[in-house]
Amino acid sequence: MNDYLTILGAGLAGSEAAWQVAERGVSVRLYEMRPATPTPAHKTDNCAELVCSNSLGNNQTPSAPHLLKEELRKFNSLVISSGDSHSVPAGAALAVDRNLFSQNITQKLSEHPNITLIREEVTEIPTDGPVIIATGPLTSPKLSESISKLIGQEYLYFYDALSPIVDASTIDYEKTFFASRYDKGSDDYLNCPIDATQYYNLVRELNQGEKVPFKSFEKPIYFEGCLPVEELASRGEKTLAFGPLKPVGLLHPETKKQFHAVVQLRHENKEGTAFNLVGFQTKLTYPEQKRIFRMIPGLENAEFFRFGAIHRNTFINAPDLLSPELDLKTNSGIYFAGQIIGVEGYVESVAMGLLAGLSAVKRIRGEKYFTPPADTALGSLLSHVTGPPRSSYQPMNINYGLFPVGQKKIRNKLERNKMIASKALESLSQWIDSINGEIGSAA
Ligand SMILES: Cc1cc2nc3c(=O)[nH]c(=O)nc-3n(C[C@H](O)[C@H](O)[C@H](O)COP(=O)(O)OP(=O)(O)OC[C@H]3O[C@@H](n4cnc5c(N)ncnc54)[C@H](O)[C@@H]3O)c2cc1C
C-alpha cells in the first residue's frame, strides 16, 4: 500500500483533509480540476472557494454552528483559521473576504512540504492506495459515472428540496393539535390550524416574499411531487388549501372543528425535539422564511434548526454505504467527505474533511481509529451521516436536534444549549487527548 494519500477535490472538505493529513507527516496528492475544467458555480482557481454566500455561519456561543467551529479550531483547522484571519464584519456570523480567504488556503496548501497540488480532473477513482473523494455537489460528470459504478447506485444530480426544521421547544402547543388525517395510525402529526384570513395572508406573503435566485445552470426543473411552497402558491390562491395544506380529515380532537387549512409538522427525530414543516420546501431567503413561517399559528416564536432550501445537489446514500470511519463498507480505504456524503454547508463539509483525514492517517499507519464522541458537534454530524440506514436520507447542517437527547430536559433553550456546548467541548478534549499520542496533533 502507498504511504501517501490521494485526495480528489480541493474544495472545503478536500483542503481541510489535505492539511490535517499533511500536518501529521503523511504525504498527500491533492487533485483539483479547476481551472482547466471548471464547475458551473466556481469562479476562480482557488482552493476552498466559497461558491455562494461568504458566510461560514453563526459564530456566537452557544449556537450549534459556533460549537462546530470551536471544535474545528481545536484541531487548528486550516479553513476556520483562514476564516478567522480574513473575517469581515457580519454581526453574529463569521463572514469572510472570500478572495483573501481562499487565496490564503491555496497558498498554505501549495507551500506545504507534504502536499502536492495537482491541477487535473480525475475521471476514475484511483486504485493505488487510500483515497478521499471530496469532489462536492458539482463533481465532474466523468468522475460521477465512475463513482456510480463503484457504489452500484444512482446518486447524481437532482434538486435538493429541504423543508425547514423547527425547534420543538419553541412551538405554541396551545394553538396546535396532534392528529393524523382521518385518524389513520397514531397521532404523529402536529397540526397548525389556519382560518381563511390567515390563509390568504400567508399565500400573499409566499408570493411576495423575497426568493433566492437560481444560478444560471440551475434551471428550475421541479418534480411535481416536490414543488416549492411558493411555486404552489403562485399557481392559484386555493392551490395550497387543496395541496399540502388541505384540512380534510383533520378535525380538532376536542371541538371536532374543520379548519380552512392546516399546516402539518412531522417529527424530525425519534426524541421529538425537532419538527419538519411538511411541504414547505422553498427558495425564500432565510429572513423571509423566518418572517413568513412565523405567521403560521403556533409558530409565532418558532426557532429554526434548519431553513428550507432548493438547490442543485448530489450526494450518496452515506448511511447505506459508509462505515463510521467514512470509507466504503464494501471497499475500505475509499473515503468520502464533504457535501457529497450528505452534509449541508461549508463548515459541515470542512468537518467531514477533517474526520476523513484523521481516519485515513490511522489507516496509513496501520492503527485503530476511534470516532469522535456522539455528544460533540463532530460526532453528532458523523452519526447523522453514518447512522442506521433510513428510507429518506436528507442532507443536514449542524443543529442541536442531531445531538443525543440527554441534556435537553432543561426547558430554557439558552441554558440547554450552553450545557450541550460545554459538554461537547469537554468530550472533544478528552477524545483529542486519547487520540493525540497516536494520531499526532496539527499544532
Ligand atoms: C450553487 C451552490 C450554492 C451553494 N451555496 C452555499 C452557501 O451559500 N452556503 C453554504 O454553506 N453552502 C453552500 N453550498 C453548498 C456548498 O457547495 C458546500 O457547502 C461546500 O462547498 C461543499 O464543500 P465540498 O468540499 O464538499 O465541495 P466543493 O467545495 O464544491 O469542492 C469540491 C471540489 O472538487 C473539485 N472537483 C470536482 N470534480 C473533480 C474531479 N473530477 N477531479 C478533480 N477535482 C474535482 C471542484 O472543482 C471543487 O473545487 C452551495 C452549493 C452549490 C452547488
Question: Which domains can be identified in the chain, with CATH numbers?
Answer: 4-157+314-439 (3.50.50.60), 162-310 (2.40.30.260)
pTM: predicted TM-score of the whole model, two decimal places: 0.80
CA distance readout (Å), 78 to 105, 135, 294, 297, 351: 7, 18, 38, 44, 11
Percent of the chain with pLDDT over 70: 90
Ligand 1 centroid to Cα of residue 104, in Å, is 18
**Per-residue pLDDT, 306:** 85
Q: In which band, very low, low, confident or very high, does the pLDDT at 292 lie, cut at 50, 70 and 90? A: very high
162: cell is 429541504
**Per-residue pLDDT, 202:** 98
Is the pLDDT confidence value at 44 over 60?
yes
Look at residues 192, 188, 186 and name the one whose alpha carbon lies nearest to residue 173: 192
Q: In which band, very low, low, confident or very high, does the pLDDT at 443 lie, cut at 50, 70 and 90? A: very low
**Per-residue pLDDT, 215:** 64
Nearest-atom number in ligand 1 for the CA of 343 is: 19
**Per-residue pLDDT, 183:** 74
Nearest-atom number in ligand 1 for the CA of 123 is: 41
Cβ-based neighbour number of residue 430 at 10 Å: 12
Q: In which band, very low, low, confident or very high, does the pLDDT at 226 lie, cut at 50, 70 and 90? A: low
Q: How far apart are the C-alpha atoms of 93 and 286, rounded to whole Å?
A: 14
Is the pLDDT confidence value at 185 over 70?
no
pLDDT in tens, 190-222: 999 999 999 999 999 999 999 987 766 555 555
**Residue found by looking up cell 480541493 in the block:** 10
Ligand 1 centroid to Cα of residue 298, in Å, is 37
Ligand 1 centroid to Cα of residue 136, in Å, is 4
Q: CB–CB of 372/428 below 8 Å?
A: yes
**Per-residue pLDDT, 319:** 93
Residues lining ligand 1, CB < 6 A? 8-14, 31-34, 39, 41-42, 51-53, 121-122, 134-140, 143, 215, 311-312, 338-340, 345-346, 349
Range with lowest mean pLDDT among 233-242, 262-271, 287-296: 262-271
Nearest-atom number in ligand 1 for the CA of 31 is: 43
Is the pLDDT confidence value at 304 over 50?
yes
What is the rounded average pLDDT of the residues 146-170? 80
**Per-residue pLDDT, 287:** 94
Q: In which band, very low, low, confident or very high, does the pLDDT at 436 lie, cut at 50, 70 and 90? A: low
Is the pLDDT confidence value at 182 over 50?
yes
CA-CA-CA-CA dihedral for 437, 438, 442, 443, to nearest 10: 10
Output the residue whose Cα is nearest ligand 1's atom 1.
41
Is the pLDDT confidence value at 121 over 70?
yes
Nearest-atom number in ligand 1 for the CA of 41 is: 1
* Mean pLDDT over the full length of the chain: 89
What is the rounded average pLDDT of the residues 408-434? 88
Q: Which residue has the higher pLDDT, 153 or 351?
A: 351
Q: How far apart are the C-alpha atoms of 104 and 80, rounded to whole Å?
A: 11
For ligand 1, pick from 12, 121, 343 the residue to mutate: most ligand atoms within 8 Å of CB.
12
pLDDT in tens, 336-393: 999 999 998 999 999 999 999 999 999 999 888 889 999 999 999 999 999 888 777 8
Q: Which residue has the higher pLDDT, 223 or 417?
A: 417
3-state secondary structure 265-292: EEECCCCCCEEEECCCCCCECHHHHHHH
Output the residue whose Cα is nearest ligand 1's atom 27.
136
What is the rounded average pLDDT of the residues 165-185? 88
For ligand 1, pick from 37, 339, 385 the residue to mutate: most ligand atoms within 8 Å of CB.
339
- Residue 272 dihedral angles phi and psi, to the nearest 5°: 75, 25
Range with lowest mean pLDDT among 9-23, 280-294, 428-442: 428-442
**Per-residue pLDDT, 181:** 82
Is the pLDDT confidence value at 15 over 80?
yes
**Per-residue pLDDT, 119:** 98
Is the pLDDT confidence value at 411 over 80?
no
Q: In which band, very low, low, confident or very high, does the pLDDT at 225 lie, cut at 50, 70 and 90? A: low
For ligand 1, pick from 349, 350, 398 the residue to mutate: most ligand atoms within 8 Å of CB.
349
Q: CB–CB of 335/364 below 8 Å?
A: no
Output the residue whose Cα is nearest ligand 1's atom 38.
139
Q: CB–CB of 130/6 below 8 Å?
A: yes
Buried b or exposed e, range 42-54, using 16+ CB within 10 angstroms: beebbbbbbbeeb
Ligand 1 centroid to Cα of residue 281, in Å, is 21
Which of 14-28, 88-102, 421-435 is the most confident on average? 14-28
